[in-house]
Structure 1
């Protein structure tokens, strides 16, 4: 997983942390209908007040010393323990004594004297301190309490999946994070890239491959980087029912998305294209690989050149015969030959003319693999720069041999490009 930074320790203001931490040294006169105000004894209240004054002057270490004086009085009542915990929590934070701060927050949160309105802020700061201390499981528990006790800050809630992931519970992290991502999408907002990377990594760590695949699709949709598409498309052959006959179509999508990134795939694309009689497409793939520095160098450079020479010779013949091949296909009884000529013309001729030939062939009928031909038609429209036409064709592809999956991924990429 791409590392994410631990959340910053949010320094809650003194006014918030100490709103109820000023000692009442004597009981106020109470009306019969009211309960007596809690009190702190003078011998506890004096060092406690001094600690609070020192804090306001920025002297956190000295404040902690005064709190120890207050504690040494002994036989503390609940209110005194509460006041010391609240004051110690903020003093320890400011002194960067995080273990001391964590213990003080836990005492304060366990006290019934802590106002309900203060609890979310205290839980937020406690969780951040625990994360800084790498106490990931306790931090996750604290963040769950934050949600349960009404904490509404989305940034704090987003810490829970991180804490769960870092604690080793990747499955729970993904379970918490997915609804957050879905809520962002439902609201028309783009989830953060960090959230999507974490979602992918959490599913991977939990060995949930369907989850990884779905999360990568989201990441490719919102952040269509070549490396993301490479991860996503590498998993397509493992999807249920995917036909190996669509490998060349998959490589074309990899090429379009920038995910075609190594020598083996360049060679595979070229060889599959040549086996299908698409010599110009093979030649263009070999030249692209050479320009990218993947081919033409290293121990296999000689083999690369031999393959290119073969493709170049056949490409020249293919281009010379394209017009006559199309005429013969037009005279055929069905449209199958016309779709083959149209597929060749995407690279060897004009993509817009290729799209017309493919569309005419499909309209005639008799095409052996119509959804595969529709993938080629959509590819032709992409090459011709007509993405909207490509999407219309892709919407019609339904075969469960992998064609529909490739169509859906093509649409994801095209829509992401349109949003740039």
Structure 2
């Protein structure tokens, strides 16, 4: 575990200083060891450096047998005994030895930090997680800054069933990393998500998923995050097509029924070009047009093709009519239709005109759809601005927040 421990190195330095110190006054005498103690300690130190830990312990027993040991001599022996015991691989005995050192009044400053670090790790290895957490906190309070210790603390709290405190510690770590411009490792993010599961906290669970998707995106994580977002109370069925747009962007539409549903919703919204995209993707993945559903899928594909033909005949006329209306809703829908055909610049311009005209039935929907169109066009900065303007409690704002986590296609 810690065979070349910091405790061993500290003990070596401590012994060297002790043996070299003079005896000019009472204070210096208090920090020295007598020759009859120093000789076996020096031999024990050589054995530790040679990894002859059993021999080192024998020499330490010899030093401990000297009569009338001073407090400082006892302290040096205890420090070296802890280091040698750790070297033998007997972590349980090493923990007892290091705890004995912790009780010594001579242990201060950086030395105390080093021993607290070791005791916390040994307690964790011995599965005494509550004590490991206690010592890890003491290490931090003593000024310890080892980069591994915060995670050891969080894991120890989690394994001692203190999920709320583990969550608190992890959030503090994430905040520090964010301020330092660092990316949090995946393990603590996963631990944070598990804390949410243990506490049945759906809000924290979604937050954990958002953090994981931000730094370690995968189709599985996106699928889980979108599913939990849509499952929130109050999520409007009106936004189901918007959900499928996000799933398509994250490659998480993974079955024929979803491709069919997305295409049907797009058709119902007057967006046959977008419907065609879902049909094409479903066929390309081999999910549509095969097996028992082949006839049904072929019929849907034909219906979409027919609607596209009809739509393109009347598209210019519809655009002209939309421009004459007081409300900007028709212009937004017309622009979104062009986006479905891949005409992003034209579509975005019409949608922006519609938003500027105002008198909208659902301004948040308009900004959500504009952000989607801008994402499709690769205009991520513009899209982010549009998504940030989406508010409300019916799910649109939640989807907009997720869109801002989507990595642009390369």
TM over 0.5: yes
What is the Cα deviation at residue 45 of structure 1?
6.1
State whether residues 3 and 87 of structure 2, in contact with CA within 8 Å, keep that contact through their aligned partners in structure 1.
no
What is the Cα deviation at residue 119 of structure 1?
1.0
Partner of 1:235: helix, strand, or coil?
Answer: helix
Larger deviation: 251-260 or 310-319?
Answer: 310-319
* Alignment equivalent of 1:108, drawn from 101, 107, 122: 101
Residue 251 (structure 1) aligned with residue 247 (structure 2): no
Q: How does the TM-score come out when normalised to structure 2? A: 0.85
Structure with the higher fraction of residues in helix conformation? 2
CA distance change for structure 1 residues 352 and 29 in 2, over 3 Å: closer, same or farther? closer
State whether residues 102 and 130 of structure 1, in contact with CA within 8 Å, keep that contact through their aligned partners in structure 2.
yes
* Alignment equivalent of 1:206, drawn from 199, 206, 226: 199
CA distance in 2: counterparts of 1:251 and 1:182, whole angstroms? 32
Query: What is the 5 A alignment of 1:263-302?
Result: 263-297=256-290, 300=293
Could you tell me which runs of 5 or more consecutive residues in structure 1 were left unpaired when the two chains were aligned: 1-6
Query: What is the 5 A alignment of 1:95-244?
Result: 95-239=88-232, 241-244=234-237
CA distance in 2: counterparts of 1:348 and 1:231, whole angstroms? 30
What is the Cα deviation at residue 13 of structure 1?
6.4
State whether residues 4 and 87 of structure 2, in contact with CA within 8 Å, keep that contact through their aligned partners in structure 1.
no
Q: How does the TM-score come out when normalised to structure 1? A: 0.83
Count of equivalent residues: 409
Partner of 1:19: helix, strand, or coil?
Answer: helix
CA distance change for structure 1 residues 289 and 68 in 2, over 3 Å: closer, same or farther? farther
Larger deviation: 221-230 or 69-78?
Answer: 69-78
CA distance in 2: counterparts of 1:131 and 1:33, whole angstroms? 38
What is the Cα deviation at residue 176 of structure 1?
0.6
State whether residues 91 and 126 of structure 2, in contact with CA within 8 Å, keep that contact through their aligned partners in structure 1.
yes
Partner of 2:14: helix, strand, or coil?
Answer: coil
What is the Cα deviation at residue 151 of structure 1?
0.9
Residue 14 (structure 1) aligned with residue 8 (structure 2): yes
Residue 372 (structure 1) aligned with residue 365 (structure 2): yes
CA distance in 2: counterparts of 1:144 and 1:326, whole angstroms? 66
What is the Cα deviation at residue 181 of structure 1?
0.8
CA distance in 2: counterparts of 1:318 and 1:352, whole angstroms? 19
What is the Cα deviation at residue 75 of structure 1?
9.2
What is the Cα deviation at residue 360 of structure 1?
2.2
- Structure 1 vs Structure 2 CA RMSD: 3.3
Query: What is the 5 A alignment of 1:294-373?
Result: 294-297=287-290, 300=293, 303-348=296-341, 350-373=343-366
State whether residues 239 and 395 of structure 2, in contact with CA within 8 Å, keep that contact through their aligned partners in structure 1.
yes
CA distance in 1: counterparts of 2:177 and 2:17, whole angstroms? 45
What is the Cα deviation at residue 325 of structure 1?
2.5
* Alignment equivalent of 2:387, drawn from 391, 394, 399: 394
State whether residues 378 and 390 of structure 1, in contact with CA within 8 Å, keep that contact through their aligned partners in structure 2.
yes
CA distance in 1: counterparts of 2:68 and 2:260, whole angstroms? 81
Residue 87 (structure 1) aligned with residue 102 (structure 2): no
CA distance in 2: counterparts of 1:35 and 1:48, whole angstroms? 17
Q: Deviations over 1:284-335 (max 9, x none)?
A: 1132133234444566555444433433333333334323332332344433
What is the Cα deviation at residue 76 of structure 1?
7.4
State whether residues 319 and 349 of structure 1, in contact with CA within 8 Å, keep that contact through their aligned partners in structure 2.
no
State whether residues 28 and 37 of structure 1, in contact with CA within 8 Å, keep that contact through their aligned partners in structure 2.
no
CA distance change for structure 1 residues 311 and 65 in 2, over 3 Å: closer, same or farther? farther
CA distance in 2: counterparts of 1:81 and 1:8, whole angstroms? 24
* Alignment equivalent of 1:57, drawn from 50, 53, 66: 50
